Amino acid sequence: MSRLGSAELEKLGESFRRDYAAVRDQIGKVIVGNVAAIDGILVCLFTGGHALLEGVPGIGKTLMIRSLAVALSLEFGRVQFTPDL
């Protein structure tokens, strides 16, 4: 495995920043505000982690994830839990 030089790392970092900003802007067209939640979800996605979105009904949790799926050309599926689970 070859090591990357600083120029290559800088180029990769800039490419990632550009892509990250583009995805964030795409989601921001649908979800106004709540930037911290959007950033948290993107960090979880890009680092291979998991996220649990909690909140009262109607605050846009599903819409936020659906917008993320559209921005990244991913398939969206929803599992809705009920209080008895």
Please report, in tens digits, the pLDDT of each residue of the chain (85 residues total).
578 888 999 999 999 999 999 999 999 999 998 899 999 999 999 999 998 888 898 999 999 999 999 999 999 988 777 777 5
The CA–CA distances, whole Å, from 69 to 14, 15, 34, 42 equal 23, 20, 17, 11
DSSP state of 2: P
> For the chain, how long is the longest CA-to-CA vector?
55
Does the residue 80 lie in any domain?
no
Residue 12 lies inside a defined structural domain of this protein: yes
Whether residue 79 is contained in a domain is answered as no
Domain residue limits at 55: 6-71
What tokens does 84 get? 């008895």
1 in a domain, yes or no? no
Compute the distance between CA of residue 50 and CA of residue 21 in angstroms, rounded to an integer.
21
Specify the pLDDT at position 5. 87
Residue 84 lies in a domain: no
Structurally, the chain folds into a number of domains equal to: 1
Q: Is residue 81 part of a domain?
A: no
For residue 53, give both structure tokens: 């979105």
